[in-house]
Amino acid sequence: MKDRKKATITVILAGVVLIIAGIVIYTCYHRWNDATCTEPRTCSICGKTEGEPLGHKWNSATCVKPQICKVCKETKGKALGHDPETWLTVTEPTCTAEGEKEATCKRCGENLTEKIPMTDHTPGEWTVVKDYKVNRDGTVTPGTQSVCCSVCKKELETKEYTIELTNSQKNAVIRAYEEENFWHVSRDYLIYDVLVGFDYFSVEDATFAVDHMEVDFDEQAVLFVKENSSGQSRGGIVEMMRYYGYTEEQINNALEQAGF
């Protein structure tokens, strides 16, 4: 019986010894890290905390910087932005170049410079870039018009343009090409003596037709000389060309080019 009691006491004592040993083993000797702006004092071994965070120490925001903590450099909010006094224009903007303006910041005294956006172009009038052409069969090949900036002359927009011919205009054009191909006469003779005199078109329709033909009357003068010079003297050719309405300049140039 006594031996059993001894054994029990021995076991109990051994357990107490183990418990005490465990307490000794697991007791932490803290190594404290300093508190920061956002974290309290903290043990680097067991993670235990003590006390409160220090809190940020903010510098005031400026025109170009937000609030900045003096300790950890964390930022808060936004920069205030400059507060300029009255802007003064240094260079006026145009439709091809930006302008420039200056002012002084009332808060920090910095000299400020900003660009002024370019102005819009100023459209001028629509003008013909390429005229429409009336073809031998009375159809029309469209021309081109454009509008430019009246200030910088930049082309802003282009568009196709054409016309609708009346039946009389169409017939006059077809007839004008046929007659000129046969006669090789001057512009005025083709209008007044052929289209009006022979074919009874109105002066308006005849003039429209001839002025919209794709014909070079200087070249027609050369063709006239080549086709009518056989058996003719120079003076005879000159008189014929005068009769058909050619100018002295056209006559002389034609005779020279034709080698007559």
* Interval 142-201: pLDDT, tens: 999 999 999 999 999 999 999 999 999 999 999 999 999 999 999 999 999 999 999 899
Q: pTM (2 decimals)? A: 0.57
pLDDT number for residue 20: 45
The one-character DSSP state at 35 is P
CA–CA distance, 122 with 132 (Å, rounded to integer): 27
pLDDT number for residue 230: 87
pLDDT number for residue 18: 43
Q: Read off φ and ψ for residue 149, nearest 5 degrees.
A: -65, 130
CA–CA distance, 250 with 257 (Å, rounded to integer): 10
Cα 22 to Cα 25, 43, 46, 48: the distances in Å are: 5, 21, 16, 20
Cα 78 to Cα 61, 65, 107: the distances in Å are: 8, 7, 16
97 CB contacts (<8 Å, ≥6 apart)? Answer: 118
- Give the position of tokens 């080019």: 257
pLDDT number for residue 199: 86
The one-character DSSP state at 189 is I
pLDDT number for residue 11: 47
Residues of the chain with pLDDT under 50: 11, 14-25
